[in-house]
Amino acid sequence: MPKWITQVGCPYCGSSCDDIECLVSDDGKKILETRNACVIGNEIFHHVSSPDRPKRPRMRQPDGSMKEVTYDEAVDYTAKALIKAKKPLIYGFGSTNCEGMSAVARVAERAGAVLDNCASICHGPSFLAIFDNGYPSCTLGEVKNRADVVLFWGCNPMHAHPRHTSRYSIFPRGFFTTKGQMQRTIISIDPRETDTAKLADYHFMLNQGHDYELFDAFRTVLRGHDIPAEVAGCKREMILEAAEKMKNARFVMIFFGMGCTHTDGRNHNVDIAISLTRDLNTHTKASIMAMRGHYNIAGPGQVWSWQFGFPYCIDLSKGTRAHMNPGETSSVDLAMRDEVDCFVNVGTDAGAHWPIAAIKHVKKHPVITVDPNICMASEIADLHVPVRVVGVEEPGVVYRMDNVPIQFKKVIDGPEGVPSDEEFFDKVYTRMCELTQTEPIWVHVKEHAKASSSLEH
């Protein structure tokens, strides 16, 4: 009999839904059906059993074709490429577990690499703003139970985080929000009338790229000053009305996305949003949250902050200390200045999602892609290493957009012989130590930790 597995985590967006149910075949190898997942999540659970999925590493040959090699050969190639490079770049991590991120960080330290994650092309500017201005935030449960005015600033959850509005932000009936949507005022700020804007009570269809002025207008009004008849293409009356709504709210929640971080001003759009949140707290309670993209893109920020003290753009090439300065040490900037001489793509697809000019630069040097699927990064790589899919074939800790850790499950067995990210990079680390005849310190630490945790049981 096929069996339903409940409380499964979905490895797609930053909502990190953990209420998915999967119907697993008799032999425990295939997912037949899913419940609760959105169309995107559903696609992931079905895609893992696709016959097209690569199950062995592939190395590019002199004639340009790809040939299957063993995992041992892949480990050896990766270790040697990292040792040989003067300044390798290891990038990605939106889609793997914290255990994998930690293993790669040990390799990066060993290699004197630059370690970076997808935040550097996504919510990196939010980090920069947080460094400047703080992060008055909360968890998503607080939004569900308390928020009665919700702003979506430059984000479109109906398309990017499809179940966000039904799980946390608009529709759910919470402890102090028993009337659900009826009790909430929704404000959308977006130059397009998105499907999220269609759900809103107020839609500010502002001129694209003028978010800073509109934030400024809201702050000016909240501080009791006058504003021009029109700001960023939005009418004064509407700004006054929405500001009044926010002042009289019991709990204002501001969600923001790429409409702030990808446009002119980058981090400054976010730091003024944080200032607005702080201003609102003189009138009522207000909170702000970045709509983080991947299900565990908050993970590297957490893991590497514990390991190195920095969330992203971490330059470990000095050997004894870490250095961080996005603009100098971010992946795209390094690539554009041609400052890296080996590129490792883990759990992401730089090939599809970087500007093509940056990809042309990294391709001058060895490119290694570690990813379960065929993607653009795997198709331009010199070596593609398939790994297990976290949340489906590999359990682990992931951090939701509000930095709440969730234990994701293993639902089915991965393909025979295919390692997890953690297993693959632990082998690379060990091989690097063998080749350089150095002590594999982290392996001892890990073995010791394992031994002591088994003693406790």
Q: Of the candidates 9, 54, 326, 396, which one interacts with other proteins according to CB under 8 A?
A: 326
Beta bridge partners of 150: 186, 253
- Give the distance, in angstroms, between the CA of residue 202 and the centroid of all CA atoms in the same chain: 29
The answer to whether residue 14 forms part of the interface with other proteins (CB under 8 A) is: no
Q: Cβ distance 95 to 421 under 8 Å?
A: no
Residues 245-264 contacting other proteins, CB under 8 A: 258-259, 261-264
The answer to whether residue 124 forms part of the interface with other proteins (CB under 8 A) is: yes
The answer to whether residue 228 forms part of the interface with other proteins (CB under 8 A) is: no
Q: Of the candidates 376, 404, 433, 443, which one interacts with other proteins according to CB under 8 A?
A: 376
Q: Of the candidates 69, 336, 404, 433, which one interacts with other proteins according to CB under 8 A?
A: 336
Q: Cβ distance 340 to 365 under 8 Å?
A: yes
Beta bridge partners of 288: 254
The single-letter code of the amino acid at 258 is: M
Q: C-beta of 400: minimal distance to other proteins in Å?
A: 18
Q: Which contiguous run of DSSP H or E holds residue 24?
A: strand 20-24
Among residues 5, 11, 118, 108, the alpha carbon closest in space to that of 387 is found at 11
Q: C-beta of 77: minimal distance to other proteins in Å?
A: 18
DSSP 85-120: -SS-EEEE-TTS-HHHHHHHHHHHHHHT-EEEEGGG
Q: Which residues of 127-148 are buried (b: 16+ CB within 10 A; e: fewer)?
A: bbbbeebebbbbbbebbbbbbb
Q: Of the candidates 28, 228, 309, 355, which one interacts with other proteins according to CB under 8 A?
A: 355
Q: C-beta of 428: minimal distance to other proteins in Å?
A: 24
Q: Of the candidates 87, 266, 283, 285, which one interacts with other proteins according to CB under 8 A?
A: 266
Q: Of the candidates 26, 33, 43, 447, which one interacts with other proteins according to CB under 8 A?
A: 43
Q: Which two tokens stand for residue 261?
A: 């971080």
Residue closer to other proteins (CB basis): 60 or 446 = 60
Q: Cβ distance 86 to 341 under 8 Å?
A: yes
Q: Of the candidates 84, 192, 235, 444, which one interacts with other proteins according to CB under 8 A?
A: 192
Q: C-beta of 197: minimal distance to other proteins in Å?
A: 8
The single-letter code of the amino acid at 24 is: V
**What character string, x for contact with other proteins (CB under 8 A) and - otherwise, covers 384-423?**
----------------------------------------
The answer to whether residue 359 forms part of the interface with other proteins (CB under 8 A) is: yes
Chain position carrying tokens 């682990």: 396
Residue closer to other proteins (CB basis): 243 or 270 = 270
Q: Is 65 left (phi over 0), alpha (psi -120 to 50) or beta?
A: beta
Q: C-beta of 330: minimal distance to other proteins in Å?
A: 3
Q: C-beta of 165: minimal distance to other proteins in Å?
A: 13
Q: Is 271 helix (H, G, I), strand (E, B) or coil?
A: helix
Q: C-beta of 360: minimal distance to other proteins in Å?
A: 6
- CA dihedral (254, 258, 262, 267) in degrees, to 10, reads 30
Q: Which two tokens stand for residue 126?
A: 């939010």
Residues 137-176 contacting other proteins, CB under 8 A: 156, 158-160, 162
Could you give the CA distance from residue 208 to residue 122 in angstroms, rounded to a whole number?
Answer: 18
Q: Of the candidates 16, 96, 120, 277, which one interacts with other proteins according to CB under 8 A?
A: 120
Residue closer to other proteins (CB basis): 55 or 448 = 55
Q: Is 4 helix (H, G, I), strand (E, B) or coil?
A: strand
Q: C-beta of 427: minimal distance to other proteins in Å?
A: 27
Among residues 131, 128, 126, 174, the alpha carbon closest in space to that of 153 is found at 126
- Candidates 107-115, 116-124, 234-242, 246-254 — which segment interacts with other proteins by CB under 8 A? 116-124
Among residues 3, 102, 37, the alpha carbon closest in space to that of 423 is found at 102
Q: Is 112 left (phi over 0), alpha (psi -120 to 50) or beta?
A: left
The answer to whether residue 339 forms part of the interface with other proteins (CB under 8 A) is: no
Q: Which residues of 164-185 are buried (b: 16+ CB within 10 A; e: fewer)?
A: bbbbbbbebebeebeeeeeebb
Q: Of the candidates 97, 194, 296, 420, which one interacts with other proteins according to CB under 8 A?
A: 194
Residues 55-114 contacting other proteins, CB under 8 A: 64
- Candidates 76-84, 124-132, 220-228, 393-401 — which segment interacts with other proteins by CB under 8 A? 124-132
- Candidates 16-24, 80-88, 346-354, 434-442 — which segment interacts with other proteins by CB under 8 A? 346-354
Residues that bind other proteins (CB under 8 A): 12-13, 38-40, 43-44, 47, 50, 52, 64, 120-122, 124-125, 128, 156, 158-160, 162, 191-195, 197, 205, 208-209, 258-259, 261-267, 313, 326-328, 330-333, 336, 349, 351-360, 363, 373-376, 379-380
